[in-house]
Each structure stands twice: as C-alpha cells, then as structure tokens.
Structure 1
Amino acid sequence: MSTKDDLMDNAEADSRKFIHVQDEHLDTEHEQRIAWWREAKVGVFIHWGLYSLPGGIWKGETVNAAYAEHLQLRAQIPIQEYEQIAGQFHAVQFDAQQWVHTVKAAGFHYMIFTAKHHDGFAMYDSAVSDYNIVKATPFGRDPVAELADACRKEELALCLYYSHAMDWHHPDSQGNTLDFPDNIGAYDPLESWVKDSDKSARYERYLEEKAYPQVTELLTQYGPVGTIWFDCGHKVTDEQGTHFVDLVHGLQAGCLVNRRVRREGFGDYENTGDNQLHIRAPRRDWESIATLNHSWGYNQTDHQWRSPQDILRDMTNVVSMGGNYVINIGPTGEGAFDPKSLELLAEIGSWLKQNGESIYGTVKSPIGKMPWGRCTRKGNTLFLHVWEWPAQGELLVPGIRNPIQHAYLLADEHKDPLPLRQINAFGDMAIQLPQNPIDPYCSVIALEFKGKLDVKTCQVVFGGVSNRLSVFDGELQGTTLRFDTGKKGRDNVRDWHKIEDYVQWTFRVASRGTYKVLVVYGANEISAGGSFVISAGQERITAAVELTGGEYEFKEHAAGQLLFADEAELVLTIRPEKINGDVLMNLKEIILISL
C-alpha cells in the first residue's frame, strides 16, 4: 500500500520493536549540541531546487508523483534534458532577507534549506561539482551564503538538508538507472546490492568524490550550521552512516545530525516519517516534518492545502509528546513563497505571537492526551491547548494533586483568573471557561501550580466527551500484529493474523457509569473477518467484524456497552475470538462515550 514516494522515507514507522538507544543524557557534548534545538521547538523546511521551476509539470503533462522534487525520477527525464532546466533558472524573485524575515515573523526558530536534493544539483557554490546554482544557472548567486547572512541578522538557526545517499547526476550513486543502467535502483533495498563488489565499490567512489567533500564544504564555508539534515539513510551502511556523523561532528562539534543519516539510533535525534501523524518515539529528542499541502517541492497543480486549524493541532500534538515540529514551504522556481503559503504562515505566526510561550522551551505533557486537546509544560506551568471547547462550560483536567496558584487564558492580557474546583480525590479538576473560545483554532489555558509536580501519567476516561483510545497509544502483544506507518489513513494496526495477538490500553475512569463502545476499523471480504472480544475489569463484550468496503476504509461500529462502576485504573483489551480470513481487521481506535 506504500507509494513510491513513501519508499524514500526511512522512518521505519511501522516497526514494533525499537533499537536500544544509549541515554544521551550521559553525553555532555550531545547535551550541549541539542540545547538550542530543544528550546526552539518549531522550524521551517524549504525545498527549493531545479525541480521548482517545472513545478510538477513536464512537457505539458502533470507528472505522476506525489512529491514534485522527484520529478526527474518519476518522469524518467534523462540527465541531458534535466540539466537544461538550469539554463532557465533565473530566480528573479529570490530574496534571502525576505524569506528569513517571513519565517521569523511566523514564529519559527530554525530553517532547514535543501543544499542538495536527490537530483544531485547543489544549491550553493560548490568547488566539488560544477553542477551547482552558481556555475550552471543565469541566477549565478549562492543562496546558502545569502541565507546564512540573513539568518545571522535575524538570529534564526540555519540548517542544511543534504541528500547523501542518493544522487541522480553522479554515475556511481543510486537512483538513476535510466542514464546508468548498472546503477543501484532508487527503490533497491540495501540488502540487494551491499555484497555486490562492483556496485559497492562504485557507490563508495561517489561518497568519496562528492558526498563527503560537499558536506565538508557546507560546514566550512558558511559559519555555524544548526543541523545537517540527511535523508534516505536506509540506503547506506552502518559504517557509512557513522562516517557522516563523525565527519559533521568533527568539522562542527555543535552541529546536529538527524537520524536519517542511517537508521534508528543514529544521529542526535529521531525523525518521523513524512507527514506522519502518530509516532512511538524511542528517544527523548525527535522531530516531526509536515507539508502545507502535499508536495515538498513546489507543485503548481497541488491545491490540497491544509487548514490553519489542522496545522496548529498537528503542532501542539507533536510538542505535547516532546517532539519538535517542522512545516515545509516549497518556493516557486522564481524564488517566491506562493500566496497560500504566505497566508498560512501569517495565521500560524499570529497564533504563536499570542501563544508561543506554550510551545517554545516546553517539555511533553505530564497528563497524556485529553479528549479536548493537548498539554505542554514549562517549569511550574502547564499549558492546556484546547481544540474542542467544552459545551458544558467546564474543562476537565486529570490528576494534578498540586495546589493551583493561577489558571487563566494565555491570550488574555489581563490574565483574569478562571474558577476551578476539585472533583475527586485523584486531583481531577474542572476549570470554568467563558462561553466562547478566545481563539478560533486553539485556545491555551495556563495552569500555574506549586511545588514538585505530583501527577500520574495515564489516559483518563471522562463522562460527557468522546474518549478515544488510539492504537498508537496502546500496547501490542503477540508476534505478528504491528503498527502501520502512522500517516494519514494508515494510523492503524495491521497483520492481525494470530488469535493470540491483542491490543491493550491502561486508563483511569474518572466518571463512573455506562459507556457506549465504538470500534473503528477497516475490513474487506477477501482478507478479513471474524469476531473479537473487548474486556475491561469484569466487563466483557463480543462483536463480529463487519465489512467496511476495504482494509483502509475505516468506519465506526457499535460493539456494545461497558459498565465502569468505580473510579479506578483499568486495562481494556481487544482480542480475536475467531479469525475467518487472513487477518482479523485493521484496527484504528476504540471510542468510549458515557450514556
């Protein structure tokens, strides 16, 4: 079900088992290197290259590629033809100062610029290869030099993307089998060629001739670089990945390396997959990357723009889980941010101007995910990001046993106190809110408490709301059941082949009573079917799997009711009773609604 573009993404989001990662807290150099990044929290990705000029169209035809920057590969354009784009690359609207000012005004603290993408074209002045923007285009300027200068003036951290694993212009690299038929293919796994002496030797020659020297240029020509952002590390060996890490840290000890330099456990921090909504991060430091529409590079036919609300919910969700959030802009071939991107950046900037305190320098939520939104923390303040304004006028907040000094809307310049009351011995409280939200997208409530935080992180089930138990917040048990990619439409478990495999969640009931149980899943007549059992405490219900029209056609199905007689901690489990087909179903979530 993965697209070809997804195969460029080595986030391994569907893995059930995580490689043990050494505790970076023991590494003083790492802690010093990562400090600014933890404070920054939000950044911008900029994909700009030769591919930006055609913008997803080649010879009058729309190219069948979700990502416009993959134009050369997906349209099967020979090098000699693709090189001709450089002769038309005037970029008359490029203004580094304007780019950086726009990014800074939108509230972002770092910029990741594509110094070289998979097409092998360097967007800076490279002595290693004449295939670069200064020597091969009429534009004739060095954007990285200009951006570095502008970033220093605006105090924005400049980071540089470098496609180290693939280069479609170099005869010994990977990905271009049109011009170089004996090359390693763009989708060939590492295992298919690593023991091939000819391909391995040629690929090592590419690394020595181009990749290592160009990374050296980027780290010696432009001053301090916040991160060298590598990509497609699943296509290099552990030894090669380690060489890149050591090269970067040797040239600039303060420069970060992302995990896509090789695989999980490498580099200074983890990455999600592209536009991955759900993640189970094995490390403290991780980063989520997302697009404003669908493509990363400019695509003139892509009008699937996300809403400001969607972007801000994505951002607050990521930061509430301890991650950094990076949103992408694909400038036009002329070097301008398109009007819709500017509109969205302005909306995000306006929100961050009011609520940035709840994002910058915060750590992950100590109270988990709430039905109404998310939470972040900074020192002795919790920031409650309210996506769904409670109709009953009270916001239910779980398990904070500390004395509360002050509760107020962050965007309220007067910081008028919000009334609150404790509702049980667990420390659950109800905050009285105004009738209407103060922000149309996400209102933030600051909750200042005294003393060392006394709270148990556990999902809490409240009455009066839809309590969603996502599979990515549960635990998988068994040998075949695993998480899907976590991207949109793939935020489910898959490969439920064995009757012994199951999913379970631990939660605390804050509102006793009877709850309607809805199960959200996809199932088709070919591979799925059977029945399942949902149990919690002494309660148990059984339901049959109903066909939904497809394994990724997710629908809600009423499974029955569960009675939670006590305010207590419970484990809810869903197990197969019978599997008729190859798999039981693709489960997405369970919803509990009080009756």
Structure 2
Amino acid sequence: MKKITAMLSCLLLAQSLLAQNSTNDERMKWWREARFGMFIHWGVYAVPAGTYKGFPMNRGGGEWIMNRSKIPVAEYQAYAKQFNPVKYNAEDWVLMAKNAGMKYIVITAKHHDGFALFDSKASKWDIADATPYGKDLLQPLVAACKKHGIKLGFYYSHAQDWNNPGGSAARKDMREGWPNPDSAKVDAYTKAHNGHWDPAQETKTFDQYINDVAVPQVKELLTNYGDVAVLWWDTPTGMTDDAAKKLQAPLALQPNIITNDRLKRPNFPGDYKTPEQKIPNLSELDGRDWETCMTMNGTWGFKSYDHKWKSVETMVRNLVDIASKGGNYLLNVGPTAEGTFPEESIKGLQGIGEWMKVYGEAIYGTKGNPLQPQTWGRITRKGNTLYLSVFEWPANGQLAVTGLKNKVKSARLLNSREAVKSSAGADAVTFSLPARAPNAIASVIKVELEGNL
C-alpha cells in the first residue's frame, strides 16, 4: 500500500511539473519568437547628459551621473525643473522600433535615481509633480504600443533609489565622477554609509522604502497601464529575500507577465537571464532563456558627447549571433531631455530595419544552431529549415556547412528566391553561391531538409 501511495505521489508530482512547464512555455512563447526588442533609458539624467561641474563622467553611463559624481539630492532634483520633453512623441518612438524589426519595448519606468516617468501616488519625485512637463510619459507609450502591435514592458529599479529616502546605493569611488578635491573625504563617507553620500538619503530605512515606495509603485505599474509584458528588475543592491517576496507578490496582478533574473539572486531566478553588454559563448549557456541587453554607443542614458556608435553591420550581426544561440537582443536608445532619439540612433535603427525587412524570417521564431559553429557566419533553425546567415561570402562561391548530415530538399537565397545548388560530402554539404553577396552585412540562404535534425 505504501508503495502504491508513493507511486501515486510521484505521478501527481510529475503531472504537476508537466502542467507547470506547459503554462510557462505558453507564457514565454511570444518572447521566444520575438528575438528583438528595444530598451529605452530615459529620465532626469538626460538633462546633465553626462557632465557635472564642467567635467564629463570618468566612468559609466549617463544614468549613473548622480551616484558617480556624488550630486546632492536637492541639487539633483533641481535638474527636474529642466526636464521638459515637449518633443516627445510616443507613436514616433514605437514606429521607429517597429520599423527596425523590434517586437517589444522595455522602458525605464524608474531608474536608480528614483525618478518615475509616471504619475505616482507613492512619491512626488516623478514626472507629474517634479517637472514643468507635468504629464505621465508611460500612458502615451502604452496607447502607441497597443495601436501598432508592440509588446511593452517596464524596467524598475527596485532596490537602488538615490532620491527616495531609504533606497540603497551601490558604492562607487568619487574618481569615477569628476575630480572633486574632497574625494578622499567623500569616499570615506560613502564607505561608512553603505554607498550613500547625502544624509537626506538615510532619513528612512530600507524596509520603509520598500513598503512605502517600491511595492506601491510596482502595484501602480501593474494596475494602471493595461497588459504589461515584462517587468525588468535591476540591481538587487542590499536586497533581502523578505523584500523580494513583497515585490514579487504584486506580479499576481499580471498572470502572463515575464520577469528577469535581477530581483534577488539566487532565490528569485525569474524567467530569463540577462547578460549585459556581452554575447555569451556557447559554453556559458545552460539551457535557460536569456536576453543580451546592449547599448548602441557607450551609454544607456543620454550623454551629449558619446559618439562611439556601433555600425549597422555590428548590430545586425550581433542580432544574428544571439538568435543563433537561442537568445534575445534588447538594444538600447537613450533619448534626450527634449524627448527625441539621437540622430545616430535613428540612423542605426533604420539600417537594421532595412536588413530585417528582407531577412527577418531568419530571426523571428527561430531556435539556435543545431550544428557545430561555422566560420563563415551563423545558423538559425525552424523545424527542418536552416537559415544560413553568411557574414563572409566565399570568394570561390562554395559554402561548406560542416556537420550537416541531412539530405537537402531545397535551398534558395532568402532575398530573391533564387535556387542554390548543393552537393553532399563525407562531413559537409556544400552550396554553390553566386559570385557576389546579395547583402554586404549578412546574406541568408534558406535550406529545407529531409528528416529530423
């Protein structure tokens, strides 16, 4: 009898796990098919735009200027009086993302400086109460995303908050900001005060901040803006499991929401991992969903002087590389304080969009390369179809796909439907290609195979 009971218990557990996995797969389906999204870092930090007291930041993105330059709370909050994004047009932003081939947007509803882009009842440090603009910035974005079929998610800095008292602060050396003659004194103070540099930041406890600001604001985001596709937590500095549980509870308001792995490691893994500014190599992947977030230049938040822009070729090949490893690419734009995208970002998005209009089939809804890595480019897969994204077009017109054992049913150039001949060898299938590459960045050959991969 005991054996039967134990067997029944195991069976029920197995059924429960299968049902749970099935539900998770359904929830993650759109995200896994999307492959490409836009990150937007926007806030009061766009006003100083990376410069304080005439000095450009020595390190870090523009969104970190308050911390790295140790700007006092009252002084930083004065920047909000200059934050008046009258040129903001949410529909323009959404269309730029859509035309680039992006399927979702994640915007910084609140970054580490604690400034909320929405009208919050939990804090006056927000767009509605602290700026001349005085209007919620998220509502127009919600409407534009819904109109154009783009999923919308919110980034929320849950632990770090440098303006709302009690929020945590990652300690950074003064030298990372500007050459303050009192650097030694400032560094000693931040060491003694858990990274804080202004007494105004410590008038409440971390628990008070979590209870009075963070949890209510997360509830606002999950209640007032329709379906929220993603909640993108960031930097669990000073987090506790208890605080994480409090922040996790409101997620029940959005049963289909997807969350990342930054709420509190390791006990709150979320749905996917988030390598930052890097593309993992195959040995680093462990089977979990993942998304690389990356800047178009060297900063997340707008810096007036950062002109180290990635080429369209680099960004397209990054996207292909990531898709070939089964990941998503979240590419950032840092708008200006007036509410416009930098011109270089616009040009970059347009360039990516031109490639995606022709070759997007090789990205959307694909899985990673089932074969060994190829020196000439990357491979993505849908069922029994391979997409060969060729970075280095062979000078002799012969493209060898090593490790491919299946018989080729058909092969053609994705851009023109022109047929491509193939011949099978002992350890590779070779495709005979035209003399010139159809696309200088990445040309794609669609290959349909017989049998299972």
Paired residues for 1:314-393 under 5 Å: 314-393=318-397
> Structure 1 pair 328/24, CA: closer, same or farther in 2 (3 Å)?
farther
> Are the equivalent residues in 2 in contact too, given 1:408–1:447 (CA < 8 A)?
yes
Q: Secondary structure at the match of 2:404?
A: coil
Q: Return the match for 1:205 from 195, 208, 211.
A: 208
Find the aligned partners of 1:82 and 1:355 in 2 and give their Cα distance: 45
> Are the equivalent residues in 2 in contact too, given 1:163–1:230 (CA < 8 A)?
yes
Aligned residue identity for 1:110:
Y
> Are the equivalent residues in 2 in contact too, given 1:234–1:260 (CA < 8 A)?
no
Paired residues for 1:160-309 under 5 Å: 160-175=154-169, 183-185=193-195, 202-233=205-236, 235-248=238-251, 250-263=252-265, 266-276=269-279, 278=281, 280-309=284-313
CA deviation profile, 1:484-532 (whole Å, cap 9, x unmatched): xxxxxxxxxxxxxxxxxxxxxxxxxxxxxxxxxxxxxxxxxxxxxxxxx
Normalising by structure 2, what TM-score?
0.87
Find the aligned partners of 1:165 and 1:150 in 2 and give their Cα distance: 30
Match in the other structure for 1:67: 61
Structure 2 runs not aligned, ≥5 long: 1-16, 172-185
| Structure number having the greater strand percentage | 1
> Are the equivalent residues in 2 in contact too, given 1:173–1:183 (CA < 8 A)?
no
CA deviation profile, 1:386-431 (whole Å, cap 9, x unmatched): 111112211110222222111111111xx1211111121x4x1110
Q: CA deviation at 1:140?
A: 1.1
> Structure 1 pair 389/148, CA: closer, same or farther in 2 (3 Å)?
same
Match in the other structure for 1:84: 78
Q: CA deviation at 1:26?
A: 4.4
Q: Secondary structure at the match of 1:184?
A: coil
Q: Kindly, what percent of the aligned residue pairs are identical?
A: 39
Find the aligned partners of 2:133 and 2:106 in 1 and give their Cα distance: 21
Normalising by structure 1, what TM-score?
0.67
Root-mean-square deviation (Å): 2.2
Find the aligned partners of 1:275 and 1:210 in 2 and give their Cα distance: 32
> Are the equivalent residues in 1 in contact too, given 2:214–2:247 (CA < 8 A)?
no
> Are the equivalent residues in 2 in contact too, given 1:42–1:325 (CA < 8 A)?
yes
Q: Secondary structure at the match of 1:125?
A: coil
Q: CA deviation at 1:77?
A: 0.5
Aligned residue identity for 1:316:
V
Q: Return the match for 2:136 from 119, 134, 142.
A: 142
Match in the other structure for 1:130: 124
Aligned residue identity for 1:184:
N
> Are the equivalent residues in 1 in contact too, given 2:169–2:237 (CA < 8 A)?
no
Q: Secondary structure at the match of 2:39?
A: strand
Q: CA deviation at 1:125?
A: 0.7
> Are the equivalent residues in 1 in contact too, given 2:385–2:448 (CA < 8 A)?
yes
Match in the other structure for 2:9: none
Find the aligned partners of 2:236 and 2:322 in 1 and give their Cα distance: 23
Structure 1 runs not aligned, ≥5 long: 1-22, 188-198, 454-595
Find the aligned partners of 2:239 and 2:265 in 1 and give their Cα distance: 9
Match in the other structure for 1:521: none
Q: Secondary structure at the match of 1:274?
A: coil
Q: Return the match for 1:419 from 408, 418, 421.
A: 421
> Are the equivalent residues in 2 in contact too, given 1:245–1:257 (CA < 8 A)?
no
Find the aligned partners of 2:223 and 2:193 in 1 and give their Cα distance: 31
> Are the equivalent residues in 2 in contact too, given 1:384–1:446 (CA < 8 A)?
yes
- Number of matched pairs: 415
Aligned residue identity for 2:26:
Q
Find the aligned partners of 2:414 and 2:152 in 1 and give their Cα distance: 30
Aligned residue identity for 2:139:
A
Q: CA deviation at 1:141?
A: 1.4
Q: Secondary structure at the match of 1:153?
A: helix
Higher relative contact order (CA 8 A, sep 6+): 2
Paired residues for 1:390-409 under 5 Å: 390-409=394-413
> Structure 1 pair 244/74, CA: closer, same or farther in 2 (3 Å)?
same
Paired residues for 1:547-558 under 5 Å: none
